[in-house]
Amino acid sequence: MANLNVTVRYSGIDFPGHLHTLQSLQYAQEFKFHETDTVIVTYPKSGTTWMQEILTIIYSDGNVLPAKTIPNWIRAPWIEHYYCKDALMNKPDHRILTTHLPYRFLAKPLKQSNAKVIYVARNPKDIVVSFYHFHKMANFLPDPGTFGEFLEKFKTGEVNYGSWFEHIKEWQKHSDEYNSFFITYEDLVKDLRKSILRLCNFLEHPLLPEAVDTTVWHCTFANMKKNKMINYTLIPNEILDHQKGEFMRKGMVGNWKEHFTQEQKQDFEKTFQEKMSGLNIVLVSTL
């Protein structure tokens, strides 16, 4: 399914038709979670792929073979992608699932389940920069225009996958309605080992010290960048133009400083204060 120029509008949000259909979005809304499922929830560019890799290795007790032989979208499929049903066929328990959907889409199935939900947040200025570069290489996303133009759309939520502000607010506002764990991209960058140990604790899946070492080592930016099963180089040029950029791009905190003008920074921070007031979350390097 290429559908590179198709956009699916569902519940007021645009989704790339390359990966979504009305049916696949409906399927997500009625998803049957298992008690042993772990769900990674992110707004795009927040560290989704990183968490997919970390959980894969934790659940294989430090064995890196699955991470090195199975593409991430098969081992941790997005609930809302059209191929999800097939990818989950015959999958045993302890499934790793991924979603970029807003909370309201999954509220009903999650409330009826005890699935473990990991929300990965990232400071939005780094997200918008990462998303902008991704738009330039992803032929299934609209042309982003200049960075300034894209930033304006990001602020108003007129981008694919909807508003970042609404996404994080909705998921956090309802976090007592599902089995939730909150972590940031910045936590992972700051102390990957500590983050992995916190995750093992939440997942009730302790690892031997050597397996923790392997997970930390394999999930460094440099090592993930080399892993074809996670760095998206398996995707043909027609879909992801590898001449225009790399999925594993910078992997750092604060890259926004090289993209925002002083005026854009002040303006974004004003929007942030307006939209996020009342949300009790500290996002490192947001300001």
Closest separation in Å from C-beta 254 to ligand A3P: 10
Query: Based on CB atoms, which residue is closest to ligand A3P, 43 or 113?
Result: 43
Instruction: Name which of 80 and 126 has its Cβ closer to ligand A3P.
Output: 126
Q: Is 13 or 219 the residue whose CB approaches ligand A3P more closely?
A: 219
Least separation in angstroms between CB 134 and ligand A3P: 7
Nearer to ligand A3P, 34 or 71 (CB): 71
**Which spans in 16-47 are helix H?**
22-29
Query: Which residue, among 231, 223, 236, 228, has the nearest Cα to 248 in the 3D structure?
Result: 231
Are 40 and 188 spatial neighbours (Cβ–Cβ below 8 Å)?
no
Residue type, 267: D
139 CB-near residues (< 8 Å, 6+ apart): 4, 238, 239, 240, 241
DSSP summary character for residue 219 = T
Distance of alpha carbon 268 from alpha carbon 151, whole angstroms:
9
Distance between CA atoms of residues 214 and 211, nearest Å: 5
Question: Applying CB under 6 A, which residues contact ligand A3P?
Answer: 42, 44-50, 126, 130, 133, 219-221, 224, 248-251, 255
Q: What are the strands of the beta sheet with 179-184, ordered from one edge?
A: 96-99, 38-42, 116-121, 179-184
CB of 204 to ligand A3P, least distance (A): 24
Question: Of 18, 20, 81, 100, which is the active-site residue?
Answer: 100
Q: Is 133 annotated in the active site?
A: no
CB of 225 to ligand A3P, least distance (A): 8
- Which residues are catalytic, by number? 100
